[in-house]
Structure 1
Amino acid sequence: MASAVPAHVPTERVVDFDLFNPPGVETDYFAAWRTLQGGPGLVWTTANGGHWIATSGELVRSLWADGERLSSECLAVTPGLGEVMRFIPLQQDAPEHGPFRMAVMKGLASRFVVALEPKVRDVARELIEGLRDKGSCEFVADFAEILPLNIFLTLIDVPLADRPALRKLGVQLTRPDGSMTVEQLRDAADDYLRPFIEARMAQPADDLFSRILSEPVMGRAWTFDEAQRMCRNLLFGGLDTVAAMIGMVTLHLARHPEDQRLLREQPELIPAAADELMRRYPTVAVSRNAVVDLEVDGVTVRKGDLVYLPSVLHNLDPACFEAPEVVDFARNLTPVRHTTMGVGAHRCVGAGLARMEVIVFLEEWLGAMPEVTLDPAQPVTMKGGNVGACTALPLVW
């Protein structure tokens, strides 16, 4: 949906760029986004109702962390999505945001992540055992969409058999195909979650939702509406991002057998390799709406304008990282400066869990599988969206 260019947007800043279908995304998500590099640091696209896109890494990172002039309320450029979803804590601003985020952070504390690691290993080993003798697989469907989703569903203690149906909902949020309205998507998630939320609020157990809902916010108990918005947020947050990341990491390994060999020979490099691969292959972006007029990169962003912040344009900006397209396991990422998991007050609450899953995946996959390569007879396919992803990753060994 194209829109007219507002009067305050200079003509030279206007581009034709649809984040859900950028040019060439089917074969290379990252190259598609990098077509915006080298020009102004902030551009305006007429696609999807019209919005700004930060294209320089410095701007992406600084605006992502700007909680005073930019609000998280809008959620995404998909019309109506933010108003309908009302996620807690993702769409909240300070000071309301802090107490709710703290409760979620306590529920995802490092001790719970550490305790979950054996389960991640068990699931990874089971999946690998089922694939190893086959000689080939479609990695997205056979592994990437199973491991992190099964772990998340275990965390919230819902039936693993529900994974395929829930996965479809997650994709509709980040890469919508028009088959559901945003209201239908919200209602489908809420209808699924309602009995679990009611049970956790009445009699807390040891699952993630129970831990969070047992934490008072501002000295009081959660209301059902707040609990529903929080559980809705975590459900969608757990259904797509890590699956997309594991797919991209595996694509790199399949294209670079020398890196497979290196990590097998020196498994102590795996934690640093996970950090670097997560930096090199970011697929998450966020939207912010301006709450005041502000001057950015020589132009005026008006109050109410939407600004889109893609992590790929920070992590792959040569002004922010030397030779950013090169995967270098010795790259100094301490303290972590990439934006794959966000930055500032809204940095992903599940970042520690996601990192652990990627590390365990690399350890188990490289420890048990032979060298894998891309299947020359079948194409790798990708799709854009608020979380980009491989949609098909055929491997052979």
Structure 2
Amino acid sequence: MRSECPVRAVASGSGGRRSYLVTGYEEARLALGDARLSKDTAAFFAGVDSKRRLHPAVAHTMLAGDPPRHTRLRKLVTGAFTSGAVAGLRPFITRLTDELLDRWPADGPVDLVADLAVPLPVMVICELLGVPETDRPQVQRWSAELFAAGEPGRTDAASYAVAEYMTGLIASKRLRPGDSLLDRLIAARDGEDHLDEDELVSLAVLLLVAGHETTTHFLGNAALALLRHPAAMERLRSAPDSLPQALDELLRFDAPVSTSTFRFTTEAITLGGTEIPAGVPVLVALGAANRDPRRFPAPDRLDLDRDATGHLSFGHGIHRCVGAPLAKAEAHIALRAILTRFPRIRLAVPDERLVWRHTRLVRGLDSLPVLT
């Protein structure tokens, strides 16, 4: 599709509706930065009788909005994810990684997804938000259910559970303030930034869910890529200082987010030589764009010497993932620990038995059995 028509109409749901799928790199980058592509889902679906019953705090997050509202909300959280702020979290991430790996059996098998890639990011974002340790397992389950492909009822129920939990947590923090990111957002709401209650709950839910789900798949996909390429794994093991640069190539090679979040045209546009009418969804296939040979020669080869810094796995433009520095820090610490502690790590099942999650938005494994 990418080579024949990098922007093309595709069937979308029932009733003959159409969306436009973008698979080329340059076209994807342009689309992600084009202000004529709106993310205001409330405006797009206004008046539509949907069977979905997502909680408004989940349905209308910062990701589902445009400037100036998006700009104001993003500004409030950006400071928590700067390189300096993330550096302060590295000792906690390192300690938590070691604790999780200490539980791995000496001879395996172990599920790298369930026993590292899932718990590490959720515990880190819970620590950042000030979620009590006793609540973190339940929060993790709700978040997983929000991405339950093909089970809308289960997803809708989870959206209410997590939103109601965050509403209660905010109320308790008002009574007993602390120094977490959520506490700072509460102070901003009560200060000159004037976050309203719905915005506050929505930001908290977005940070909780988006802050770990994609990182889970980043870790799983990166680990699998190295397990499939033993020479690359051995190279990183012998030269661990090269791992930070390798992270971008691992992100490009197997993006944890397959398709960008919802966008639609506010006016007719031309993209990649294709005319797209106003008022239709545009799906940007990040994983396909990252494999575009016009931008990345020999794209299906994992090349740790490649300069892959232009990949689109974190998006592009004003909606680029605000948590990218934290995700890369977690992946760096976790992968380095695995390479150091388990020099004989290998897949525990044939490659063809690996099961991928059945969802359009994210790309990740259900499990990754390994022998240590």
TM-score surpassing 0.5? Answer: yes
Deviations 1:267-307 (A, max 9, x none): 11111111211121103122211111212233332222001
Q: Which residue of 2 aligns with 1:52?
A: 20
- Selected match of 1:276 from 245, 249, 258: 249
> Under a length normalisation based on structure 1, what TM-score does the superposition of the two structures give?
0.83
Distance in 2 (CA, whole Å) between partners of 1:59 and 1:204 is 46
Q: Which residue of 1 aligns with 2:108?
A: 135
> Conserved in 2, the CA contact under 8 Å of 1:282 and 1:311?
yes
One-letter code of the match for 2:33? A
One-letter code of the match for 1:307? V
One-letter code of the match for 2:294? A
Q: Which residue of 1 aligns with 2:332?
A: 359
Residues 165 and 255 of structure 1: is their aligned pair in 2 closer, same or farther, counting only changes over 3 Å?
Answer: same
- Give 5+ residue unaligned stretches, structure 2: none
> Conserved in 2, the CA contact under 8 Å of 1:148 and 1:242?
yes
Q: How many residues align?
A: 359
Within a 5 Å distance, the mapping from 1:2-151 to structure 2 comes to: 36-49=1-14, 50-66=18-34, 68-74=35-41, 84=56, 85-151=58-124
Within a 5 Å distance, the mapping from 1:310-389 to structure 2 comes to: 310-333=285-308, 336-376=309-349, 379-383=353-357, 384-389=359-364
Q: Which residue of 2 aligns with 1:5?
A: none
Distance in 2 (CA, whole Å) between partners of 1:181 and 1:261 is 42
- Report the 3-state secondary structure (helix = DSSP H, G, I; strand = E; otherwise coil) of the residue aligned with 1:274: helix
Residues 93 and 387 of structure 1: is their aligned pair in 2 closer, same or farther, counting only changes over 3 Å?
Answer: same
Distance in 2 (CA, whole Å) between partners of 1:272 and 1:79 is 45
More displaced stretch, 385-394 vs 338-347: 385-394
Distance in 1 (CA, whole Å) between partners of 2:191 and 2:59 is 19
Residues 183 and 146 of structure 1: is their aligned pair in 2 closer, same or farther, counting only changes over 3 Å?
Answer: closer
More displaced stretch, 289-298 vs 171-180: 171-180
> Conserved in 1, the CA contact under 8 Å of 2:55 and 2:160?
no
Q: Which residue of 2 aligns with 1:178?
A: 151
- Give 5+ residue unaligned stretches, structure 1: 1-35
Q: What is the percent sequence identity of the aligned residues? A: 26
- Report the 3-state secondary structure (helix = DSSP H, G, I; strand = E; otherwise coil) of the residue aligned with 1:322: coil
> Under a length normalisation based on structure 2, what TM-score does the superposition of the two structures give?
0.88
What is the root-mean-square deviation of aligned Cα atoms in Å?
Answer: 2.6
1:244 and 2:211 correspond: no
TM-aligned CA deviation for residue 125 of structure 1: 0.9
More displaced stretch, 346-355 vs 360-369: 360-369
One-letter code of the match for 2:91? P
